[in-house]
Amino acid sequence: GAGVSQSPSNKVTEKGKDVELRCDPISGHTALYWYRQRLGQGLEFLIYFQGNSAPDKSGLPSDRFSAERTGESVSTLTIQRTQQEDSAVYLCASSPSRMNVLTFGAGSRLTVL
């Protein structure tokens, strides 16, 4: 597609529920990133996919967080047993291989009540 598409744009859930956030990267972009941005704060790296290589999961804050990506297509970030501190905007970005210029999606705003 023309840009990075994320869904849902807004998600309100109750504490303890599981949520799935979806990212559809730019076609042909081999690298895909997930970041978290809490209100008024910077971007916190979560996970990075590059082609068929093993993902860099070093930023995932707990084992309640996981992400998958099939090939060079859609990625899903899953948060299990959500907590109020998970409330944030989750940003997805993609980039062409070996160039590091990220194009960001509009984000998915998660609110955990």
Partner 1 sequence: AQSVTQPDIHITVSEGASLELRCNYSYGATPYLFWYVQSPGQGLQLLLKYFSGDTLVQGIKGFEAEFKRSQSSFNLRKPSVHWSDAAEYFCAVGEARGAQKLVFGQGTRLTINP
C-alpha of 73 from chain center: 13
Closer residue to partner 1 in complex, CB, 9/16? 9
Task: List the one residue from 5, 13, 22, 43 that touches partner 1 (CB under 8 A).
Answer: 43
- Can residue 1 be called a binding residue for partner 1 (CB under 8 A)? no
Residue 27 found at the interface with partner 1 (CB under 8 A): no
Q: Token pair of 65, please?
A: 């967080």
Q: Output b/e per residue, 18-55; b: 16+ Cβ within 10 A.
A: ebebebbbbeebbbbbbbbeeeeeeeeebbbbbeeeeb
48, 102 contact by CB (below 8 A): no
- Over the window 50 to 69, marking each residue x when it contacts partner 1 by CB under 8 A and - when it does not, the resulting string is x-----x--x----------
Q: Which is nearer to partner 1, 11 or 36 (CB)?
A: 36
Q: Which residues bind partner 1 (CB under 8 A)?
A: 30-31, 33, 35, 41-43, 45, 48, 50, 56, 59, 91, 93, 95-107
